[in-house]
Structure 1
């Protein structure tokens, strides 16, 4: 097996926004704001396969928890590995990269992907938008989000998957939802100025699709959409039905090999997931985000083969 170890040798839609503090000044969220509509696509461009860096988290350094962490593989090594799998893209993750991320490090990733014939299909961050806009925590989260929008824009990443987050226990559901809407609108304005789409994932507080949909419908930015995550669903007997509700708004799709049915993990019906995306006229990357117990080096190639077969059926 090739060594992918960490090595020094692997190496305007709206007016621009000023300082982070000014982001929140005078902003109000109107219930009358134009709602986002399901995305319409005239093209018949094919679905493409990507691999999420999170799939290799066992081997990557978690710099979010320890800035000095080292792993068996760095992000360049992950890009190298993805290129051996026959995928068209690779999705990066902020908390497996150094912080601050330097220009030479960003340029090295951009160059490596291009030379290997890979798109940087997307990027992921670990934000929490449930905090009050303008609060110390809210400002810190917006600074973090803007920082990584900048980094991903520099790398040439078209879409970033972002979270609603997990609210403090003292917050009501209504307050948390309102905060997510406000913060997401601000972040989308900034992302739009950088030419990057923000894809809000059904994750944490938003695994309840009934809670997520009103947030989706309240954000009218063309730089906003949904990250369809096939494995993050609140307990229900029919998770596929719930996923079909967000598919029409999706600009990114994360595929997991297990899905919760009544809160218990079962093997994902991958054909059914691809069909949900097909029926929603989704286009773009289908990204495998492997989280199961089998060793990723053994499991990932098998699941990519299954997904590629299903995607090719989708194109016939």
Structure 2
């Protein structure tokens, strides 16, 4: 591999964005298969006019079979819904040892499953330093991302590192890691609600050129603020356009209102912002 800072994605042409919905938006409903499962979720996405569906790994059985993954893929195809990705919970900010090896193995298992599912992208975490200092944790994250990134590339899958606290809580921390990872299958899963500086929008803009997937939250929280504020979706869309982003924009609803009530309105607002 060639060493040096990895440049932005280098897309050609104008920004082009398509709308998807994250299964995590219905995390409570997935607890009861009679209320929500993946076929029902895909049907919901189709009914709401979403081009895509992000099928969060948490709601598959731990020992999910290829047959089940292929059945879900078939259902999505027949409903005209693209499987835009999945998401795993992992941490690479660990010292060498069995725990880190299992974390990498878990991500590789889901790379294999994503390939079967037809999902081009997996949201991954970096993690918070555990049993190791911060600088060491960053080195471990970079090393692990290079390993799993090479594996992902061999399967035609992208990995997006989410700005999700820990060693990637700030844009500086996230960019330091992503620029250092020598893999063209690794970029940023840009979560619009996970930066909490004085100006979260400026922080998003700094990271957007490295985005391979975008998850949109309907709220942002600034440093020192007592409460979250509604996200300016038009401003978010403008940031993505200015960066030349081309790809999926995934609504990930986490607020308190019933998603069956709230999600349609937020999809409408996001669709208008992206138009």
Q: TM-score range by the shorter chain?
A: over 0.9
> Could you tell me which residue of structure 2 aligns to residue 171 of structure 1?
132
| 2: CA distance, partners of 1:70 / 1:209 | 38
> Could you tell me which residue of structure 2 aligns to residue 109 of structure 1?
72
> Could you tell me which residue of structure 1 aligns to residue 112 of structure 2?
150
State how many pairs are aligned.
Answer: 272
> Could you tell me which residue of structure 1 aligns to residue 247 of structure 2?
284
> Could you tell me which residue of structure 2 aligns to residue 54 of structure 1?
24
- Provide closer, same or farther for how the CA distance between residues 274 and 45 of structure 1 changes in structure 2, counting only shifts above 3 A: closer
> Could you tell me which residue of structure 2 aligns to residue 217 of structure 1?
179
**SS, match of residue 30 in structure 2:** coil
**SS, match of residue 120 in structure 1:** strand
**SS, match of residue 47 in structure 1:** strand
> Could you tell me which residue of structure 2 aligns to residue 266 of structure 1?
229
Larger-gyration structure (1/2): 1
The equivalences for 1:192-207 within 5 A come to 192-205=153-166, 206-207=168-169
How far did residue 204 of structure 1 move?
2.3
CA contact 2:95–2:132 (8 Å) conserved in 1? no
Stretches of structure 1 lacking an aligned partner (at least 5 in a row): 1-13, 15-31, 62-68
1:240-292 CA distance string (max 9 Å, x none): 11111110000100000011111541111111111111110001111000000
| 1: CA distance, partners of 2:184 / 2:171 | 21
**SS, match of residue 76 in structure 2:** helix
> Could you tell me which residue of structure 1 aligns to residue 94 of structure 2?
131
**What is the TM-score of this pair, normalised by structure 1?**
0.83
Query: Are 1:182 and 2:152 matched, yes or no?
Result: no
| 2: CA distance, partners of 1:263 / 1:124 | 30
CA contact 2:15–2:240 (8 Å) conserved in 1? no
| 1: CA distance, partners of 2:33 / 2:270 | 32
**What is the TM-score of this pair, normalised by structure 2?**
0.95
How far did residue 70 of structure 1 move?
5.5
> Could you tell me which residue of structure 1 aligns to residue 9 of structure 2?
39
The runs of at least 4 consecutive aligned structure 1 residues that moved more than 4 Å come to none
| 2: CA distance, partners of 1:128 / 1:204 | 11
| 1: CA distance, partners of 2:193 / 2:15 | 25
- Provide closer, same or farther for how the CA distance between residues 70 and 165 of structure 1 changes in structure 2, counting only shifts above 3 A: farther
| 1: CA distance, partners of 2:33 / 2:92 | 29
**SS, match of residue 227 in structure 1:** strand
CA RMSD, 1 decimal: 1.6
| 2: CA distance, partners of 1:249 / 1:148 | 22
Query: Are 1:140 and 2:107 matched, yes or no?
Result: no
| 2: CA distance, partners of 1:263 / 1:239 | 12
Structure number with the higher helix fraction is 2
1:19-68 CA distance string (max 9 Å, x none): xxxxxxxxxxxxx822210122213363110000100101113xxxxxxx
1:68-111 CA distance string (max 9 Å, x none): x8663112221121111101000011111111111220111110
CA contact 2:209–2:243 (8 Å) conserved in 1? yes
